A = this chain, B = another copy of it.
Amino acid sequence: MKKITIVGITGYSGLELFRLLSFHAEAEVVAVCATSHIGEKLADAVPQFEGLTELVISEFDVDLAMKNSDVVFFATSSGVSLKLALPLIEAGFPVIDLSGDFRLKNPDDYEKWYKNTAAENVYLSKAKYNLADLTTATATYIANPGCYATATLLALAPLVQENLIDLTSIIVDAKSGLSGAGKKLTESSHFVDVSDNMSMYKVNQHQHIPEIAQQLHDWNEDFEALQFTTSLIPVTRGIFASSYVKLADSVTFDTVKNAYQKCYENKNFVRIRRQLPQIKDVVGTNFCDIGLVYNEKTNILTIVSVIDNLMKGAAGQAVQNFNQLFGFAETTGLQFMPMI
């Protein structure tokens, strides 16, 4: 049983972590931290938790966290953990960071895409970006991947790793539900503006682009750039990523299908589907579902990948990384069937 501090409890990812860890057989949440609601009961700040927890929201105190808990989860906005986490890194204390602060190895990339001063290299180098379905968490500082990045990278991994496509041809048209945009109140999150609507945003400027590009380049040094766009659709949870790539010369669709099977066989949370998956197939679960269709006329492979952005795209993958880090069965606390 590991004791857990969650920093950033009032955001969607923090709440989702709390929901998952509350009934995790190997976890006990001992502290929930935020920058507002300090001293208030969590069940007062979040009324739907009434009667379910006695925890009080506190300010994050790094010494207390290290004294009272075994691991710290950061579910904070960008710019927070790069300040608060430094003593934890220095102490080699386990951290799972859901924010983008330690995902990019190149500080210049961070500064360009996040418009913020990056952590120093000495700290960045300690963090491991761990896509939990492809590699196993080992470092004590885990940079948990972003939601769009997870859906995109799991969709493209076999193709890029095995060199099956024209690497200049990658186009990803990704759509997200509103919980992905966070709890902040903006005109674009007002029900009237979202319902019965769809909009594209941050075209060519989304901060998950460099994270995707970094990983693709790690997998295949010939990769240079991809076209990646993000849209909002009127759903609460879910990412639906449609990826389009041209197959490399002489690569067949059978070769492609075999590569996916091989890449994901024995993986607990990636399902290569016979039919194209829908968002509802994964909502409430930690699955990433992937479907494939090939068009002979255009030589284009369409890959559909879907995740629950708060589960596999945030808190679920964070718990999976936690399980890996501490040697628990990977599925502990994550065994959910899809929910209608």
Interface residues of A (CB under 8 A from B): 12, 15-16, 18-19, 22-23, 47-52, 168, 171, 173, 175, 177-179, 183, 185-187, 189-201, 203-204, 225-227, 229, 231, 233-238, 240, 242, 244, 271, 273-276, 278-284, 293, 295, 297-298, 300, 302, 304, 310, 335-340
Contacts and interface: CB of A to CB of B under 8 A. Distances in A.
A265 to B, nearest CB: 11
Given A185-B186, A190-B189, A340-B192, A199 B271 contact: no
Report which residue of A48, A185, A337 has the largest number of chain B beta carbons within 10 angstroms of its beta carbon. Answer: A48
Contacts of A183: 187, 190, 192
17 contacts: A23-B337, A47-B273, A48-B280, A48-B281, A49-B338, A173-B242, A179-B340, A185-B186, A189-B191, A195-B196, A196-B283, A197-B279, A200-B304, A225-B297, A227-B295, A227-B298, A244-B244
A32 to B, nearest CB: 13
B47 A281 contact: yes
Given A16-B340, A310-B340, 19 more contacts: A23-B337, A48-B281, A48-B338, A49-B338, A50-B273, A175-B175, A178-B192, A183-B192, A190-B190, A192-B236, A195-B195, A198-B278, A200-B302, A203-B293, A203-B295, A204-B293, A204-B295, A204-B302, A233-B233
